[in-house]
Amino acid sequence: MAKPVAAAKSEAASNQRPFYKQFTPEQLKEALRRMCLIRRFEEGAEEAYMRGLIHGTMHLSIGQEASAVGATMALRKTDYITSTHRGHGHCIGKGADPKLMFAEFFGKEEGYCRGRGGSMHIADVESGNLGANGIVAGGIPIAVGAALAIKQQKRDDVALCFFGDGATNEGAFHEALNMASIWKLPVVFVCENNKYGMSVSTERSMAVANVADRASAYNMPGVIADGNRIEDVAEAVTTAIARAREGQGPTLVECKTYRTRGHSRSDRNRYRTKEEIEEWKLRDPIGHFETELVANGIATADEIAAISAAADAEIAAGIDFARNGTDPSPNDVTRGVYTPGNPS
């Protein structure tokens, strides 16, 4: 005999993970909304790219939405993030407006970077996103520097730094984590370990099994989270953020996840099997979160459908907005290189 609904709910509540108490239902639904937006944004961008409307290259994070949103949920607007070449999710997670991101992809003056940066440099300084980065690991010391400035200015903000597994093989990772640790800076290192740096698996590129195993070399906690489960990511990162705000120094959080798309458009997936990809598709972070929200009594199926539909609409409108944006003039090619009104 099925239990009455109320009883099921209260039982669920007692088993509930801290995640569902740390955040309000509104925050949780907003998190789902952002995950949906990221997914739709990237699907929209991919389509525009394939139709030749967007040029250049782009790196999709489809399948990794839980880490992008879970890691940014506990951040304030005055906190910073630095992001990566695979940075659309981080950008939306931190609060950017998809239509201004699309405008950037379409190379328009309305874009976040006035069409000068594109996907690989997407940023929204207003919302605290110091930018994606075309250089693997390039953003890691930058985040540490932002954390140093926060400390110097006696703010209780934090800097959160996204990077991939491959980035942890760069010297910049090593130098930055060491300095963050000796100076106890308010920074959280979030590694999105999607098993590959382009085509090279972590087994072939790293001497240790987990990125988190490297944390001990910097005397900081190294935490592993299931990167496809937002509750896991958010709990780990929230703890790390709290530590950082309290002046206890940095944490390395490794989110185990997977990108279901190729590295970039030119990827022929020769380095991995179809089975592996399919297996991970079954672990879709959005589907998982939707199920959990319902199971935890936070959202109804209808609400979820509405969130999803709203995301669709927002993305469609964003693309429209972007296509109708203003093209930069070739006469302005050197605009923005130096700060105007410069004293010297």
Ligand X SMILES: Cc1ncc(C[n+]2csc(CCOP(=O)(O)OP(=O)(O)O)c2C)c(N)n1
- Residues of this chain that interact with its own copies (CB under 8 A) are 169-175, 177-178, 181-182, 204-208, 213-214, 216-220
Rounded to whole angstroms, the Cα distance separating 42 from 147 reads 30
Interface pick for another protein out of 18, 247, 287, 336 (rule CB under 8 A): 336
* 102: helix, strand or coil: helix
Give residues 159-198 in contact with Mg ion (rule: CB under 5 A).
164-166, 194, 197
- Choice from 17, 114, 184, 283 touching another protein (CB under 8 A): 114
Of 186, 125, 178, 199, residue with least CA distance to 160: 186
Near another protein by CB under 8 A: residue from 142, 212, 253, 255: 142
Instruction: Dig out the tokens for 252 from the structure.
Output: 């390395």
Binding mask 122-161 for Mg ion (x = CB under 5 A): ----------------------------------------
Tell the residue number behind the tokens 């996204």, with chain if given: 162
Least distance between another protein and beta carbon 329 (Å): 8
- Please identify, using beta-carbon distances, which residue of 36 and 177 lies nearer to its own copies: 177
DSSP state of 326: P
Nearest to 256 by CA among 66, 16, 62, 40: 66
What part of residues 73-92 is at the interface with ligand X (CB under 6 A)? Answer: 85-86
For 124, the token pair is 């929204």
Say which residues have a Cβ less than 8 Å from residue 25's Cβ, sequence separation at least 6.
Answer: 298, 299
The reply to whether 256 sits near ligand X by the rule CB under 6 A is no
* Crossing angle for the helix pair 285-295 and 301-323, to the nearest 10 degrees: 140
Window 176 to 235, contacts with ligand X (CB under 6 A): 194, 196-198
165 lies in the binding site for ligand X (CB under 6 A): yes
What is d(CA 338, CA 344) in angstroms, rounded to the nearest whole number?
11
Q: Are the CB atoms for 225 and 239 separated by under 8 Å?
A: no
**205 binding partner (options Mg ion, ligand X, its own copies, none; Cβ < 5 to 8 Å by kind):** its own copies
How many helices and strands, by DSSP H and E, does the chain display?
Answer: 13, 7
216 binds, among another protein, ligand X, its own copies, none (CB under 5 to 8 A by kind): its own copies
198 binds, among its own copies, Mg ion, ligand X, none (CB under 5 to 8 A by kind): ligand X
Contact flag: residue 314 with Mg ion (CB under 5 A): no
- Nearest Cα neighbor of 19 from 220, 298, 280, 278 is 298
Contact positions toward ligand X, by CB under 6 A?
59, 85-86, 134-136, 163-167, 194, 196-198, 263
